[in-house]
A and B are shown apart, each in its own frame.
Chain A
Amino acid sequence: MNNGWQKRHLLGIQGLSATEIEQILTTAASMKEVSQRPIKKVPTLRGKTVVNLFFEPSTRTRTSFEIAAKRLSADTINLTANTSSLTKGETLVDTARTLEAMAPDVIVVRHSVSGVPHLLARWVRCSVVNAGDGMNEHPTQALLDLMTVKERKGKIQGLKIAIVGDVAHSRVARSNIWGFTKMGASVRVAGPRTMLPLEIERLGVEAFDRVESAIEGVDIIMMLRLQLERQDGAYFPSTREYARFFGLDLQKLRQARPDVMIMHPGPIHRGIEIATEVADGPYSVILEQVANGVAIRMALLYLLLGQGNEDTNP
């Protein structure tokens, strides 16, 4: 069986074509069915090894990858290497080569510095999947977001989406900007100017100072998680002021279309970037996003590892 997938690594949405994104979404739609069976397991990746190498704390992304791999019968190993392994003297490249020697099929990596998956990919023969690198990309998050939108709206082309919050430091924002623009949606970003990076418009988006004007007339609002430690870097004065001027509450939501869809990559700060009534309200798809995350990661592992595999399509 050859699934037609050409790339060895998934380092970012930046490197994918619209056709490739489409292929991942279609594959994920069929994977979703596996998670709804009474016995949630298929033998597709039996004998394959997936290493989750996380240099940053993560519960949901790591768990999601682990469940995805297990539902496809791959063996999974979780390595939570915090930066203290560097103080022990082992460099990133050493860690990668040590893992390489154990012959895994995929390394799923998360790191606080942009470009680390690219560095790893130069040193290992197996596939590398980026599970979030610094402020650069979080491609599987964008793919699950695209999947959620497509399920709900039936299409992506022609939709309007507003991404709101700390765009500058957000890998989720960058991957979604690449993903939604490639799929033909129009993207707006909004947030305090301290958190909108220079020349962001050149990524093909429209930048807004005010949340109220950014969300007017859009189909989708994506709220970003506020990293509270940014307060120390003078990016915003207080969480109270941030919540009032940049958080999504019912009052601001009145500016939006009545059928607007509200997304958040999680974990959410209730009452800061998103009010509880909004997060739990009828237009919120936050939990659907989580469910689709497993399907997207199953699809990716299948596409990256399924090539030349003798087993049958699930």
Chain B
Amino acid sequence: MKIRILNGKLIDPGSSHEGEFDLLIENGKIAAIERQGAIPKQEGETIDAKGLAIFPGFVDLHTHLREPGEEYKETVQTGCNAAVAGGFTTICCMANTHPVNDHGAITEYILGKAREANGVHVYPIGAVSKGLQGEELAEIAEMREVGAVAISDDGRPLMNGNLTRRAMEYARNFDLPMISHCEDKNLSSEGVMHEGYWSTRLGLPAIPSASEEIMVARDILLAELTGAHLHIAHVSTKGSVDLIRRAKERGIRISAEVTPHHLILTEEALQDYDTNAKVNPPLRSEKDRQALWQGLKEGVIDCIATDHAPHDINSKNVDICQAAFGMIGLETAFSLSLRLVESGTLSLSELIEKMTIQPAKLLGLPAGTLSMGSPADLTLVDGSRTFRYYASLGGSKSHNSPFDQCEFKGKVVMTLIAGQVVYTEKKDDKKD
């Protein structure tokens, strides 16, 4: 089975391709990357990518798939559908399922569900502590043996410094990065948004920047102590960016991610008490947002990750204190992040690097680049097309996005995994 993808513009920072190339896919693998017109006509399919950009399938280090336990919010299947609609072909799912992914059987269960889905490469992230309780270590080595690629108690920050230290030591033993959701729960208290002008104005209990920064500082020191690879999840404050910059300068093994929503939105998004803009860490101030752009540009922040967090309507259509934290993000990640290219902060190639090869390298995943013989996981994007995003029409089972019905530029048109077309945009989408 052969497929030719002709006339597109290939951008693959992982293999240093940037320009007009034709691709030949054979048996699901990249068989040739040639100057346009150089691949001879042959049997099989041809995809005309004229006017489109070709990227390696995006890689997300931070997805919540909700299965097992909260299948009414998302399943592995629907999460994978959302992924390909957003151009992602590899996703790493967090451990806060019910039961928690804290031992090999749950890891295996998730992988089994993924095998029945649409081909997206799903890599589970194991829990640090049993039941995310922050008390005893989870069975980390066994989860790794089954297929876990990192450990994290995401969503339930580790308040116990000693356990965090032991977890890092143990993770280092098995070459697993530790992904840290940095938050001091005592400082966050009952907070629902960033503490600053808007929380004062809206009269909402709030989370200070220090809540995140104190734990970033603690975990940097513990990474230094243990030599473990520390990856900071969803960096949201200027202070965190500064701490990570200094840690990198000191040669500590640390990496970091930022979400598209923290790059684009600020605390002001809460002004009408929109529960879909309630996320953890909270949307911060404009000053923080600018520091995140700067951090990403400099490479202090290594990559973009979605923190795709599906919630059903009943978890969101309540008062803001009761509402769940989180928003979906797989399907809007590229369009939102493209704004950094539009503004001249990043080149398109730099952006794609931070959504493909960079995250893949951080966790050692065989993904994020298109070289000879690698799986033909790629996405075709129309970078100039504007469209209206409807959360309810997407692949995810949940629709909790503050971007619902927003106008976006840059649309994923088609996604392939192992040479199979797993997503093509719906015809209706074109009307806008």
Contact = CB atoms under 8 A, between A and B. Distances in A.
A136 B205 CA distance: 10
Nearest to B272: A118
A242 B288 CA distance: 36
Interface string B347-385: 000000000000000000000000000000000000000
B314 interface: yes
Q: Which of B201, B205, B272 has the most CB of A within 10 A?
A: B201
B69 interface: no
Interface residues of A, number: 25
A92 interface: yes
B203 A135 contact: yes
A101 to B, nearest CB: 18
A168 B273 CA distance: 18
A314 interface: no
Contacts of A192: none
A297 B196 CA distance: 33
B401 interface: no
B424 interface: no
A179 to B, nearest CB: 15
A170 to B, nearest CB: 9
A111 interface: yes
Given A91-B314, A92-B318, A114 B196 contact: no
B317 interface: yes
Q: Is the interface of B mostly helix, strand, loop or mixed?
A: loop
**Main SS of the interface on chain A?**
mixed
A197 B204 CA distance: 10
B405 to A, nearest CB: 15
B196 A199 contact: yes
Interface in B34-64: none
A228 B322 CA distance: 24
A14 to B, nearest CB: 8
A171 B197 CA distance: 16
Interface in B107-136: none
A199 B202 contact: no
Interface string A114-152: 111011000000000000011111000000000000000
B366 to A, nearest CB: 46
Contacts of A225: none
B319 interface: yes
B15 interface: no
Contact of A134 (B196, B201, B203, B206): B203
A93 B196 contact: no
B195 interface: yes
Nearest to A199: B197
Contacts of B199: 197-198
B321 interface: yes
Given A115-B273, A119-B273, A137 B319 contact: no
B139 to A, nearest CB: 36
Given A113-B321, A119-B273, A119-B319, A202 B314 contact: no
B282 to A, nearest CB: 14
B200 A91 contact: no
Interface string B164-197: 0000000000000000000000000100000111
Contacts of A62: none
B244 to A, nearest CB: 24
Interface string B319-361: 1111000000000000000000000000000000000000000
Interface string A196-231: 011110110000000000000000000000000000
Contacts of B321: 113, 134
A199 B320 contact: no
Nearest to A116: B319
Given A115-B273, A118-B273, A198-B197, A93 B318 contact: yes
A137 B203 contact: yes
Given A118-B272, A118-B273, A113 B320 contact: yes
Nearest to B200: A197
Contacts of A171: 203
Interface string B224-247: 000000000000000000000000
Contacts of A135: 203-205
A174 interface: yes
A200 B200 CA distance: 7
A119 B276 CA distance: 13
Contact of A113 (B189, B200, B208, B319): B319
A198 B273 contact: no
A175 to B, nearest CB: 10
Contacts of A119: 273, 319
Contact of B320 (A115, A168, A197, A233): A115
Given A198-B197, A198-B208, 6 more contacts: A91-B314, A115-B320, A135-B205, A168-B200, A174-B203, A199-B200
Interface of A: 91-93, 111, 113-116, 118-119, 133-137, 168, 171, 174, 197-200, 202-203, 233
Interface of B: 189, 195-197, 199-206, 208, 272-273, 314, 317-322
23 contacts: A91-B317, A91-B318, A92-B319, A93-B318, A111-B319, A114-B202, A114-B273, A114-B320, A116-B319, A118-B272, A119-B319, A134-B204, A135-B203, A136-B202, A136-B204, A171-B203, A174-B203, A198-B195, A198-B197, A198-B199, A199-B196, A202-B200, A203-B200
